[in-house]
Amino acid sequence: MLTRDVLADPVALTRALVDIESVSGNEAEIADRVEEVLPEWLRTERFGNTIVARTELGRPQRVVLAGHLDTVPLHDNWPSTVEGNLMHGCGTADMKSGTAVALHLAVTLAEPRHDVTYVFYECEEVDSDRNGLKILADNRPELLTDASFAVLLEPTHGLVEAGCQGTLRVLVRTSGKRAHSARSWLGDNAIHKAAPVLRSLQRYRERIVTIDGCEFHEGLNAVRVSGGVAGNVIPDECVVEVNFRFAPDRSEADAQDHVREVFEGFDVEVVDSAPGALPGLDEPPAQEFLAAIGRPPRAKLGWTDVARFATLGIPGLNYGPGDPNLAHKQDEHVEIDKIVEGAAVVRRWLSK
């Protein structure tokens, strides 16, 4: 139960949320519990298992606090346990500790100095089409677009990680001609013809870009190679899957053009693409947030839903108690003092 005492303590609230099993697609119970405790001073709407709760105080600026409700599948790491300063369990770091911070403030801070839109959303850990924030942005963008800034409470170990990288996956194909391996000269080996693709990747020098004082390190890497027919057949096709993590000063189109240039002369098929997000740290709410935390920001090396806000014209950053290196691991855990610190930082930012 999310009692008043639990809601008043972000640590107890984290543990209570972790102990509600909510693997992606099974968020109904946790969404019910969140919805029923949201106070009357918030205008609340629910879309599936995504909940939007807004203050309507007429403040000059509005900000978003967003956290997802789902977790990856359990792996003998549920329910939660506590050992000293560590809370163990599925979702402790990614990202029920961050979501708990947002929910704690939603029910205890009635008059923040900015109007706040709280978003508790489903299906972040699975296919993009099921992502509750994407569905909300596609169908009810007006619930988000009146905000000037967003904080996504993804795990950052208590540091500001600004913006995010874009990501692109392509398939680079080579083709040949099948033949019996005993008479290989009658064929054309597609796997051998992929050697220049791999050499291009070996020679590639990643770009490092500094934006708003944050260093984004790009990367272009083969992540899968497939080819071959049988142990006695010269293969007629080979596919190298390549992932490009690009700095947010490139658009998706720029990133695709760059990859096609690297693999000029080869068949390149784009199979997945998502834009990055610029840090946007010159916005007044971002400057206030950095002042509240008192530590310099760093780039988000990875893709997060901050990019969805950027697509809507809303700059944002990532900030949460958990360690991102522990996300999805069996020994996932969060430091209790990081939860306390995170709640204090966000409260300090939003308080008059």
List, in order, residues 6 or more apart from 95 with CB less than 8 Å away. 67, 68, 153, 154, 155, 320, 322, 327
Of 70, 115, 161, 305, catalytic: 70
User: Tokens 């080996």 label which residue?
Assistant: 189
From CA 347, how far away is CA 105, in angstroms rounded?
A: 7
Of 124, 218, 305, 332, catalytic: 124
List, in order, residues 6 or more apart from 265 with CB less than 8 Å away. none
From CA 297, how far away is CA 292, in angstroms rounded?
A: 12
Residues found in the chain = 352
List, in order, residues 6 or more apart from 127 with CB less than 8 Å away. none
CB 124 within 8 A of CB 133: yes
Q: Name the DSSP class of 250.
A: S
Give the three-class secondary structure for 91. Answer: coil
Active-site residue, 70 included: yes
What is the residue type of 171? L
Helix and strand element counts for the chain (H, E): 10, 19
Residues known to be catalytic = 70, 124
